[in-house]
Amino acid sequence: MKVYNSLSRREEPFAPERGGEVRMYTCGPTVYNFAHIGNFRAYVFEDVLRRTLEFNGWKVKQVQNLTDVDDKTIRGANAAGVPLQEYTKPYKEAFFADLKTLNVEPAEVYPAATDHIPEMIELVRRLVDAGVAYRSDDGSVYFSVVKFPGYGKLAHIDFENQRTGARCAADEYDKENVGDFALWKAWEESDGPVGWDSPWGRGRPGWHIECSAMSMKYLGETFDLHTGGIDNLFPHHENEIAQAEAATGKPFVRTWMHCAHLRVNGEKMSKSAGNFFTLRDLLEKGWTGREIRYVLAGAHYRQGLNFAFSALEDARKSLARVDTCVAALEARAAGAAPGAAPEFAASALEAFSAAVNDDLNTPRAYAALFNLVRSANAAMETLRPQDAAAALAAFARMDSVLGFVQSGKSAAGGGEAVPPGVAALLEERARARAEKNWAESDRLRDAIAAAGWAVKDSKTGQAVSKIRPQG
């Protein structure tokens, strides 16, 4: 397997350091709000990575943190007038529900920052003892970037001329404002009831120390992979490296991987820009987790991806093609055991494997999937049951990475996947509407309803949802 390492800025062969197990850390959500689908682009990329590692036969130990104390969560809790834990709880629950909807495999550990304050205090203490951190007059503790010669190695910036001894108390800042950053923040009026006692007085951890402390606790002082969205690279990941390596004297992470942003009209999707959709927004419009996953995983992770509803429409059509083919293969296989893979299935699977192992080239992996659909359809009438079963096994193998192929079975669901029959009726109805044939459109709406699905029309096209039994 080859991946692009943000640290070396090169594609490199990847294998875990220790035997068969990959130790991987993923920056998780700040639970002050519902995650938007930009965040989920990062989590789906990390899931495809995880599943590819498993596809290759490695075991994965993945740790994903929950940032439940930082500038934003404290601001939210105090504005709402509720304790921090009470404020973050529904967003933690929503996050796990959303991961399920997107068929993201669960990580092995989900440490919450508020459960690891002693570990963070201990790490800050080590840094103070090592002479790379200092207490300021107000009782905060700062990391002195001039004391760590490797500072800037991930962001590839030469900070020599910028080392002014300035300090930055905020969790998030940009490269122009590089300076000593907060490891521990002294309690302030605006923190309200949030705070913990420490050797430097009452306060709370900075955001960056959370990830260094929790990753090393669960994965060791050096581990294989660390991932996140590209906006995490600086200052968050740069600071994580400084904190960990200055404390341990060992390399922190072997390979760093970052995904590009999900954008809307060319701009990063973000809470602050207000240009976001949560996963829930899209489910309410009738799209399924399966369709959303298809779109998010479909672009190469290092390429920007512009969000558009037309992509969801394409996803629906493409998935209907997969479903139709799989259903036909199932009928032909009639429960037979898979025989040797027919040539078309073996070569599609080989192309698929080469694609995902080439720095997670999902566009090429999708092409291999649809090659399999095309050749299976072309050969359908001549396939023996054991051939059909072998082709199904190839789909299943691809699905172990993609997580949306076998709709019914692996239930990349959220909303339940639209069955092929209904998808075909929807396509027919879209055509009727394009031709302004309203009578036909209404007839098809009734046929879709008879199959148990309700269809709604909007500017972006048709949206369906399962009709729930009344009462």
**Interface residue list for Zn ion (CB under 5 A):** 27, 211
Examine residue 179 and tell whether it contacts ligand AMP (CB under 6 A). Answer: no
Comparison of 203 and 229: residue with beta carbon closer to ligand AMP:
229
Phi-psi region of 148 (alpha: psi -120 to 50; beta: other; left: phi over 0): beta
**Stretch binding ligand AMP (CB under 6 A), from 15-23, 34-42, 420-428, 462-470:** 34-42
Residue 273 CB, shortest distance to ligand AMP, in Å, is 9
38 binds, among ligand AMP, Zn ion, none (CB under 5 to 8 A by kind): ligand AMP
41 binds, among Zn ion, ligand AMP, none (CB under 5 to 8 A by kind): ligand AMP
Strands 141-143 and 133-135: antiparallel
**Stretch binding ligand AMP (CB under 6 A), from 2-10, 212-220, 225-233, 245-253:** 225-233
| DSSP for residue 112 | B
- Is residue 105 helix, strand or coil? coil
Q: Which residue in 60, 38, 40, 63 sits closest to 50, CA to CA? A: 60
Q: Which residue in 47, 81, 89, 48 sits closest to 64, CA to CA? A: 47
What are the residues whose beta carbons fall under 8 Å from the beta carbon of 422, sequence distance 6 or more?
Answer: 448, 451, 452, 453, 464
Examine residue 208 and tell whether it contacts ligand AMP (CB under 6 A). Answer: no
CB 74 within 8 A of CB 84: yes
For residues 252 to 271, the per-residue mask of contacts with ligand AMP, x marking binding by CB under 6 A and - elsewhere, is -------x-xx-----xxx-
270 binds, among ligand AMP, Zn ion, none (CB under 5 to 8 A by kind): ligand AMP
Cα Rg, the chain, nearest whole Å:
25
CB 399 within 8 A of CB 407: no
Residue type (1 letter), 184: W
Comparison of 36 and 332: residue with beta carbon closer to ligand AMP:
36
231 binds, among ligand AMP, Zn ion, none (CB under 5 to 8 A by kind): ligand AMP
Examine residue 69 and tell whether it contacts ligand AMP (CB under 6 A). Answer: no
Question: What is the rounded distance in angstroms from the CA atom of residue 47 to the CA atom of residue 294?
Answer: 13
Which residue, judged by CB position, is nearest to ligand AMP in the bound state? 229
CB 431 within 8 A of CB 377: no
Beta-bridge mates of residue 203: 186, 196
Residue 30 CB, shortest distance to ligand AMP, in Å, is 4
Comparison of 42 and 326: residue with beta carbon closer to ligand AMP:
42
Write down the residue that tokens 């397997």 correspond to. 1
Examine residue 27 and tell whether it contacts ligand AMP (CB under 6 A). Answer: yes
Q: Which of 229, 286, 403, 415 touches ligand AMP by CB under 6 A?
A: 229
Q: Which of 3, 4, 23, 41 touches ligand AMP by CB under 6 A?
A: 41
Question: What is the rounded distance in angstroms from the CA atom of residue 471 to the CA atom of residue 181?
Answer: 57
**Stretch binding ligand AMP (CB under 6 A), from 36-44, 158-166, 181-189, 458-466:** 36-44
Sites of contact with ligand AMP (CB under 6 A): 27, 29-30, 38-39, 41-42, 228-229, 231-232, 259, 261-262, 268-270
